């Protein structure tokens, strides 16, 4: 068990990410007191049933009052409203951070409300699943995953270092970058793949020449790999698209050009171009496995399915 790092931790938002953080804090003994806040009484009650914290409140202000560390884990579009609610109650010297998937927009929404006497350090753990809500969280979600900080100029290095130690205790590796760069990188590694998945699953769902039952029945040929991403939380992803608009549109333009190149190669029977691209992309997969960001199990380790009867 690790030592207490923060006497009082307030978790605002207790879905997949907030509840995973809560489970780790509790398991590792990183806080003296965990206060949980979420806007709906139903989610709050579920958090209490799951015993994710020590105290529970629907008031973000009450939770943040006197906290040494405040972690905001709500959809990025709700960041400003949360910042407004908690700002007057923040204790001098407190560290305020978030986990939002976009960074420039979160900073624009939260920083103007943060009092001078606190340390606001925006963050983004690159870990998650397609599930949401407090039941979806689990211990160890952040182990071996990156957490990116996008600190504002002039932030106290000691506060950054304290927050870094916290994420390292959860098993993460921490990087720092500027928020605009973060938003560009995430647009290609996360936002675009989700948008493509939403699009392809939507297209298949709209097809009239192929029935829905055939799409489901034969999905193991590739389609189902997209359905996992396309099952992600609609609120979260609506907000990501609206709050990282420029970077996403830039990546989508590049993507459309490259798709046109592929389309032309298929149309004109340019097998060498197709072969060259497909060989290059195969090495990308190899690098991801080598970097420890996925396992090399055949079929993404889905052997559990082999035991299921065919439907
Ligand atoms: P989630 O499971 O859907 O939980 C969302 C939490 O935010 C719930 O406590 C919910 O409260 C609260 N909430 C929703 N709308 C709100 C609003 N308008 N105002 C105040 N609170 C609101 O979401 P999550 O997956 O944990 O995502 C939380 C954040 O983490 C997002 O910013 C997301 O971009 C980021 N993130 C997600 C992932 C991922 O894979 N899911 C990975 C990295 C970062 P109620 O249930 O009480 O309504």
Taking residues 128-147, what's their average pLDDT? 97
Lowest-pLDDT range, 9-18, 90-99, 156-165, 283-292?
A: 283-292
Q: Is the pLDDT assigned to residue 271 strictly greater than 90? A: yes
> Radius of gyration of the chain from Cα atoms?
21
Whether residue 245 has pLDDT greater than 50: yes
pTM of the model: 0.94
Confidence at residue 310, expressed as pLDDT on a 0 to 100 scale:
46
Averaged pLDDT score across all residues of the chain: 94
For ligand 1, pick from 11, 12, 16, 76 the residue to mutate: most ligand atoms within 8 Å of CB.
16
* Residue 239 Cα: closest atom of ligand 1: 34
The tokens of 191 are what? 């936002």
Residue range 189-210: average pLDDT? 91
Ligand 1, atom 35, residue with closest C-alpha: 100
Phi-psi region of 146 (alpha: psi -120 to 50; beta: other; left: phi over 0): beta
**Residue percentage of the chain with pLDDT more than 70:** 95
pLDDT, residue 301, reads 58
CA of 210 to the centre of ligand 1 (A): 35
**44-73 pLDDT per residue, tens:** 999 999 999 999 999 999 999 999 999 999
Phi and psi dihedrals of 14, rounded to 5?
Answer: -135, 45
Mean pLDDT confidence for 139-154: 97
Antiparallel, parallel or unpaired: β 146-149 and 123-125: antiparallel
C-beta 18 within 6 A of ligand 1 = yes
Instruction: Please state, for a pLDDT cut of 90, what percent of the chain lies above it.
Output: 85
Tell me, what's the pLDDT at 231? 95
Looking at residue 295, what is its pLDDT? 84
Q: Is 150 touching ligand 1 by the criterion CB < 6 Å?
A: no
Ligand 1 lined by 109 (C-beta under 6 Å):
no
Q: In angstroms, what is the span from residue 211 Cα to ligand 1's centroid?
A: 34
CA–centroid distance, 297 to ligand 1, in Å, is 31
Would you list the DSSP string of 134-199? GGG--TTTTTT-EEEE-PPTT--HHHHHHHHHHHHHTT-EEEE--HHHHHHHHIIIIIHHHHHHHH
Residues in the chain: 311
Of 258, 198, 185, 261, nearest to 226 (Cα)? 198
57 lines ligand 1 (CB under 6 A): no
Q: Per-residue pLDDT tens for 71-127?
A: 999 999 999 999 999 999 999 999 999 999 999 999 999 999 999 999 999 999 999
Distance in Å, CA 65 to ligand 1 centroid = 21
Residue 311: predicted pLDDT? 41
Domains in the chain with CATH codes: 6-177 (3.40.50.720), 181-307 (1.10.3660.10)
If you average pLDDT over residues 282-290, what whole number do you get?
A: 91
**Ligand 1 pocket, 71 CB below 6 A?**
no
């Amino acid at each position: 068990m690790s030592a207490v790092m923060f006497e009082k931790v307030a978790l605002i938002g207790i879905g997949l990410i907030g509840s995973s953080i809560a489970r780790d804090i509790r398991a590792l003994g990183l806080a003296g007191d965990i206060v949980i806040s979420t806007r709906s009484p139903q989610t709050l009650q579920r958090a209490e049933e799951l015993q994710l914290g020590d105290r529970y409140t629907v008031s973000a202000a009450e939770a943040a009052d006197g906290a040494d560390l405040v972690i905001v884990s709500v959809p990025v579009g709700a960041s400003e409203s949360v910042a407004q609610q908690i700002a007057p109650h923040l204790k001098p010297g407190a560290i305020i951070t978030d986990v939002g998937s976009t960074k420039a927009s979160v900073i624009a929404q939260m920083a103007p409300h943060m009092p001078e006497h606190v340390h606001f350090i925006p963050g983004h753990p690159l870990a998650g699943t397609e599930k949401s809500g407090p039941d979806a969280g689990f211990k160890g979600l952040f182990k071996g995953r990156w957490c990116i900080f996008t600190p504002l100029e002039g932030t106290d290095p000691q506060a950054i270092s304290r927050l870094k130690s916290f994420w390292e205790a959860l098993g993460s590796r921490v990087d720092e970058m500027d928020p605009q760069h973060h938003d560009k990188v995430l647009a290609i590694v996360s936002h675009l793949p989700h948008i493509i998945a939403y699009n392809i699953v939507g297209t298949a769902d709209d097809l009239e020449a192929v029935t829905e039952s055939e799409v489901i029945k034969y999905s193991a040929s590739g389609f189902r790999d997209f359905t996992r991403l396309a099952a992600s939380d609609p609120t979260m992803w609506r907000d990501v698209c609206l709050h990282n608009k420029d970077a996403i549109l830039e990546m989508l333009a590049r993507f459309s050009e490259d798709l046109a190149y592929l389309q032309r190669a298929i149309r004109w029977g340019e097998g060498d171009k197709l072969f060259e691209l497909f060989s290059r992309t195969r090495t990308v997969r190899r690098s991801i496995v080598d970097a420890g960001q996925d396992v090399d199990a055949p079929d993404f380790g889905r052997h559990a399915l082999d035991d299921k009867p065919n439907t």
